[in-house]
Amino acid sequence: MRALLLLFFLMNLDKLLKTGHCKETQDQILTITPKTQKQVDILKTISTQYETALWQPVSSHYIKEETEVHLFVPSNSSQTVKALLQKHGIIHTVLLANPNELIEMQTRNDSTDPRSSSNFYERYHSLEDIYHWINKTQQDNPDTVKAILIGSSYEKRPLYVMKLSLNNSMNKTAMWIDCGIHAREWIAPAFCLWFVQYALSFYKVNQEITHILDNIDVYILPVMNPDGYHYTWATDRMWRKNRSVSKSSNCIGVDLNRNFDANWCTEGASNEPCTEIYCGAFPESEPETRAVADFLRSHKDSVQLYFSMHSYSQMLLFPYSCTLDEAENHQDLLEMVQEAAHVIRRHYRNTYTYGSGAKTIYLAPGGSDDWAYDLGIKYSFTFELQDRGRYGFLLPPSHISRACNEALIAVKTIALKVIKKTEASTSPGQTD
Ligand code: 0X9
Ligand code: ZN
């Protein structure tokens, strides 16, 4: 009988581990708040020497006392990591006990023909589906939507910018929105799709978007880091950087938001290819960065407003992130994000913090928003969308609609303010 029981146990061990009835063997996200410098150092060691992925902050450089750390711990390092934490008296709680279920939930719905479904925009989509959607959106709206190929990624995937031009009036200025610089921040590409759909459906219906689109053309890059995004669907949901191969190391990927030419690779970035904030070999070394920078350089006379969409932590940021110095129009930018945050609070009862990047989160040089600002796009913003750390990067599809609507209302608020400010001084726009 005993032998039979043992046999049954062994036969089902694999199932038991996978279903999580044995908790220790599941992937988990832990919340840890280090209380002393010693605990900070131990956490830095754990997050760099053991198989884990930092969710918050993005790199061990930023770990400090009394500040919450979110750490993804895969099942195979769970015991070791927890033993180390315990040994050093570091208290942890489990933020997410079931990340694999959430990941499954996020990808499950991408059925063979998701484009026909009514809630297409309330789901996450694979890169292939997003390419298909770009194409279809252009075909369905030949007079108003144009897909412009601005370059290709390291692995030679196309980078398409969608130009929305709803009104043919002359001398229009433009705004730019990019999504998905960081691969694992899936809510960002979902926002770009949401925005396009909203603009096309509510032009001449909603007064605010009509006024915006009557005055501004919109350039939208739905996935700035297609290689990384594809990799998060195929191999590693936690991947952040692009997928370029380094000449000097076996580690893969450059943080595209450290690769722009804005105090490149100074404090807050790293020249070590194995870190999450690797700045690359030189500014604009990455084809994705180069394509965006080239496009914006050649459209800088018309583009007046720049948005870059990220997650998570609910923040509305503006330059600078690469220095503690204030931007020349700091007060204007502050008023804009302040009003946007108020509007979000009023409509959605949700709290967004705001301010210049360096003072609100951390010094982070080489970012697209700072670079765009220095190019002359004086209204430049980075949004960190939902949530504040309940699900982190694994925001369930049921939250997409709220997350996108609140970001949308913030974009609209800022765009309307920019139109007001620049009404008197519009310059001729480009034709492409
Ligand atoms: O660190 C970043 O690149 C952004 N945060 S994230 O968690 N999405 O990685 C913040 C970017 C703020 N702007 C600049 N650093 N320029
Ligand atoms: Zn990001």
CB 27 within 8 A of CB 98: no
pLDDT in tens, 342-374: 999 999 999 999 999 999 999 999 999 999 999
Q: Is the pLDDT of residue 256 over 80?
A: yes
pLDDT class of 118 with cuts at 50, 70, 90: low
**Closest ligand (CA of 367):** 1
Ligand closest to CA 319: 1
Which residue, among 161, 103, 186, has the nearest Cα to 387 in the 3D structure? 186
Residue nearest to atom 9 of ligand 1 (CA): 58
pTM equals 0.91
Peptide bond between residue 312 and the one before it cis (omega within 30 degrees of 0): yes
Tell me the backbone φ, ψ of residue 78, rounded to 5 degrees: -55, -50
Mean pLDDT estimate for the chain = 92
Q: Determine which residue's CA is closest to atom 16 belonging to ligand 1.
A: 367
Q: Is the CB of 44 under 6 A from ligand 1?
A: no
Ligand 1 pocket, 184 CB below 6 A? no
The finding on whether 382 has its CB within 6 A of some atom of ligand 1 is yes
Average pLDDT score over residue span 6-17 = 45
Section 138-154 average pLDDT: 98
Ion ligand 2: residues, Cβ under 5 Å? 182, 185, 310
Instruction: Return the percentage of the chain with pLDDT > 90, whole number.
Output: 86
Three-state DSSP class for residue 4: helix
Tokens 């998701």 locate to 114
- Residue 317 CA: nearest ligand 1 atom is 12
Q: Is the CB of 257 under 6 A from ligand 1?
A: yes
| Residue to mutate, 58, 60, 257, 288, ligand 1, most ligand atoms under 8 Å from C-beta | 257
43: CB partners within 8 A, 6+ apart:
32, 34, 60, 63, 69, 71, 90
Is residue 374 within 6 Å of ligand 1 at its C-beta? no
pLDDT band for 110, please (50, 70, 90 cuts). Answer: low
pLDDT given at position 15 = 41
Check pocket membership of 319 for ligand 1, CB cut-off 6 A. Answer: no
> What are the catalytic residues?
384
